[in-house]
């Protein structure tokens, strides 16, 4: 079982990542935001491709949920921290981070 502290530690371990306020959340970004942590620390939103989102939500619906709005249709996905393992979080953050890094190179 993961914790808010492990989520932050893993997010900040992604190369070039900085954290800052984003409305009532904490954003993790490399030029572009790839994750936002809810103020209560119980969930975070991650930027996947729509295909990655579909796969994650199908394989682990107890951990991943598509956001039900326009952001969700772009791939933004909620991860529930408590049922996730540190490995689940690391894999998801690495995937989301890769998209933010790719955007900075264009």
Q: What are phi and psi of 27, to 5 degrees?
A: -95, 140
Q: Is pLDDT above 70 for 103?
A: no
Q: Helices 4-12 & 86-104, crossing angle to 10 degrees?
A: 30
Strand order in the sheet with 25-30: 18-22, 25-30, 32-37, 43-47, 76-80, 64-66
Helical H runs in the chain? 4-12, 50-59, 70-73, 86-104
What integer is the mean pLDDT of 68-79?
A: 96
The domain defined by 4-104 carries CATH number 3.30.70.80? no
- Average predicted confidence (pLDDT) for the chain: 95
CB neighbour list of residue 103: distance below 8 Å, 6 or more residues apart: 31, 32
pTM of the shown model: 0.93
pLDDT at 1: 86
Q: Tell me which of 62 and 31 has the higher pLDDT.
A: 62
Per-domain boundaries in the chain: 4-104
pLDDT at 106: 47
Residues composing the chain: 106
pLDDT at 104: 54
What integer is the mean pLDDT of 39-57?
A: 97
Q: Is pLDDT above 60 for 105?
A: no
């Amino acid at each position: 079982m993961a914790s808010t502290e492990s989520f932050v530690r893993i997010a900040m371990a992604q190369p070039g990542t900085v954290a800052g306020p984003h409305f009532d959340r904490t954003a993790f970004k490399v030029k572009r935001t790839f994750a936002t942590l809810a103020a209560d620390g119980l969930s975070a939103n991650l930027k996947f491709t729509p295909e990655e989102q579909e796969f994650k939500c199908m394989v682990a619906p107890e951990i991943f949920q598509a956001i039900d709005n326009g952001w969700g249709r772009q791939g933004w996905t909620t991860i529930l921290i408590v049922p996730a393992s540190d490995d689940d979080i690391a894999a998801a953050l690495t995937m989301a981070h890769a998209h933010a890094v790719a955007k900075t190179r264009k």
